Chain A
Amino acid sequence: MAERPWDEDHLPLVGKDVDNRPTTWLVRVVRELPHPDSALVTEVVRTHDGTELVRRSLPVERGAAVERLLDNEIRALNRVGRRYPGGRHPGELPRLVGFDFDSAEPFALLSRYPGPTVGDTLRTLLTDERRKFTVSLFRALAQLAAVDLVHGAVGLSSMCWDGAVVRLIGFEHALLAGERVRPGVTPAHLGDDVLAAGLVVHRLMTGRAPARRDAPPDLTGAPDAITSLLRGVFDQDPGRRPAARDLLERLGAGGDLPEPLDPDTALRAGRERFDRARPAKAVRVPPPPLLRPDPAPPPPTRGPVPPVRRPAPRRGTWPLLPVGLVVVLLAATVVLLVVTR
């Protein structure tokens, strides 16, 4: 009998890979990872071939709300995995290895986190590391924005740092741009992540957290390096905040982001066929009038008054003044002759 390459501590995890292929992983839980601010369980697991992965799953106390959080994470990382396949996958974003959302024990299986969450280690970063950290953080956001994803909870507990790259983790609040958590609340905006990352960068550069979580930091009197980088980041209107790509430009690091695949390319032909079958309603324009109306008077102009053109004398007509003089002279001559007789 062949020896099994795994021991009895390994349990099967049955799910699908990011290409939807049914897959079974034999895993053993190594340890639970502290994940502040997360309602999901986070564990390091080791597969039978020794690979370490991260499993995200439901806590004991569960229900529709917490299931939705896991669904958010699986959906977001599925989207990242499909749009950045193979070698395009950004190092700043977790790779979804597998998932299951159908069974009694749903899970997401992710690539190993590169290090602990940032937390208080932020203030220990050296000057050069701070720049790397900032660039990497905005790269993560730019790559998310390119696939229309809003992380929704960017903060010190949702990013890992290995000395070279920031990796965003904890996608349980991730939504597509424009989606709402529930009806009636403000829709998710890419600018939400920019503001949250701006707070982290401000803290990184100043060592100070904002006095209130909901109040943006005051940049008055801050060094130029901070104000020029974070200009507009804390605007009340998320639509007026700079994009993550803009911030990379400000940092002089905007050049080499991987281009995600565009899934709409595959849908174009179908949309065109739909439009032929159901033409979109054109903007309604009033029907043309039955009678041609009188031409409207020209609008008043504010420019210089154009010179009045005098009509040119018409050709083939007699000049009036010389003829009049001749008539007057003839009449005077006749009168003089009559009087002198």
Chain B
Amino acid sequence: MNQPPVGPDPARALCPICLDYFPWREDPLYERVVEASGARWEPVNLSGINNAVKRADRRARCYVKCTNPSRDGTPEHYLPVSHRGHGEPVVIGLVGRGKSGKTHLLVAMLLEALRGDLSAHGLSFEPADEFRHLLFKQSIDQFLRGKKLDSTKDRVHDFAAYFLVRTPDGRARPLIFFDVAGEDFMTPGLGGRNARFLLGATALMFVDDPEHTVPARRPDAIDGPAAQNDAFNTAVARLRSRGDIRKVPVAVVITKADELRYEHPVDRWFRRDDASEPLSAAGFRAESRDVFALLHHHGAQPVLEVFEQFDRGTLHVVSATGTPVDQGVYPRGVRPVRVLRPLLALLAMTGVVEGPEASEVGR
């Protein structure tokens, strides 16, 4: 019996959800139909559209069904047609305990990216998955109204956001984000599907908050820093089946850093407005070194150790909202701070951003 070839194949695609290679068939294409009675996937017939422009536009908003050849129990899933025809997708996974601020970080980051805040680096972002972007946009709207987002749920299998990032030289790369709830991520079972995205991730963001890393500077500090980070441990253990995990680029992100805004050396980094400045590997290194030293001083071993397990990585202090939540709302609205720095670092480390400085980021 012939085994199907495993690896890139023009007629086949790697599904970022089930991690199977599957035959890429656009006949039929699908679309998501939402009605009062519920939402469902329906085949689309484009053969009657004789205007090429209209046809291309219609096709761009369609989906291809993954056949999940391994039949591993992953629920039925569909990928946007933009998954093919561009470069190799960049898959970024967010890893962190529950309530560490991953979802707020992702929403704030992509909100600013879509707004064009990385245009100084020649990068532009566009949603490439209409269905999921509508869901994501609800989070953005809630976020902009200064309301706390619900914690991530029901995303054990699926990705959170799918974008195309365009670079100055005209390339476009699919950019996929996985944001699995901390509790689901660490739950054993499900045939290992809950953290499977790690096996296909191009880069990772390890996310933790001051409560568990620098508790001594919090007003309500009782305990020392967390001795363990189960989400980090689960991720690293899972990654080992890929082989040399050291090669995965990582950004280690301390969220909710508004709590540390007046702490040395965060007081210098937190206010730095360098999104539009030329990319500087030395700048990333200097911030990483300071954040590492702060975490070291406070004994945040799980964060330090996870950083040291990878050859290429950066450390960051960010705040998705600018202030803490108060009874479900942000009293003066949300003002994200430095949320694009980890994304820019990962785009440099994964080769989406090119150049001599980009090639040195995180080394």
Interface residues of A (CB under 8 A from B): 16, 20-22, 64, 67, 71, 74-75, 78-79, 82, 101-104, 106, 176, 179-180, 182-183, 263-264, 266-271, 273-275, 277-278, 280-281
Contacts and interface: CB of A to CB of B under 8 A. Distances in A.
B267 A75 contact: yes
A171 to B, nearest CB: 13
A104 B295 contact: no
B308 interface: yes
B217 A20 contact: yes
B308 A270 contact: no
Given A20-B217, A20-B219, A22-B219, A267 B297 contact: yes
B290 interface: yes
A101 B326 CA distance: 12
What 4 pairs across the A-B complex have the smallest Cβ distances?
Answer: A270-B296, A270-B293, A267-B293, A104-B331
B360 interface: yes
B220 A267 contact: no
Given A64-B335, A101-B323, A270 B267 contact: no
Contact of A79 (B267, B307, B335): B267
24 contacts: A20-B217, A22-B219, A75-B261, A75-B262, A79-B264, A101-B261, A101-B323, A102-B324, A102-B326, A103-B331, A182-B273, A183-B273, A266-B297, A267-B290, A269-B296, A269-B297, A270-B297, A271-B292, A271-B293, A274-B288, A277-B307, A278-B288, A278-B289, A281-B363
Nearest to A21: B219
Contacts of B268: 176, 179
A183 B276 contact: yes
Given A267-B294, A271-B289, A278 B363 contact: yes
Nearest to A178: B268
Interface residues of B, number: 38
Contacts of B274: 183
Contact of A78 (B262, B271, B285, B324): B262
A102 B276 CA distance: 27
Interface string B297-328: 10000001001100000000000000110100
A274 B332 CA distance: 37
Nearest to A106: B332
Contacts, number: 87
Interface string B278-296: 0000000100111011111
A275 B363 CA distance: 11
A46 B78 CA distance: 65
B339 to A, nearest CB: 16
B273 A180 contact: yes
B218 interface: yes
Nearest to A184: B276
B122 interface: no
A220 B267 CA distance: 43
Task: Summarize A's interface: helix, strand, loop or mixed.
Answer: helix
B77 to A, nearest CB: 39
B277 interface: yes
Nearest to B297: A266
A213 to B, nearest CB: 27
Contacts of A20: 217-219
B265 interface: yes
A217 to B, nearest CB: 34
Interface in B82-137: none
Contacts of A180: 273
User: Residue among A268, A273, A278 with the most chain B CB within 10 A?
Assistant: A278
Contacts of A21: 219
Contact of B292 (A79, A176, A274, A280): A274
Contacts of B265: 263-264, 267
B262 A79 contact: yes
Contacts of A106: 332
Interface string B182-219: 00000000000000000000000000000000000111
Contacts of B304: 273
Contacts of B296: 267, 269-270, 273-274
Contacts of B292: 270-271, 273-274
Nearest to A72: B271
Contacts of A78: 262, 267
Contacts of B261: 71, 75, 101
Nearest to B275: A183
Nearest to A15: B219
Nearest to A272: B293
Contacts of B324: 102
A275 B277 CA distance: 25
Nearest to B308: A277
A81 to B, nearest CB: 10
B15 to A, nearest CB: 35
Nearest to A175: B271
B323 to A, nearest CB: 5
Nearest to A179: B271
A220 to B, nearest CB: 41
A177 to B, nearest CB: 10
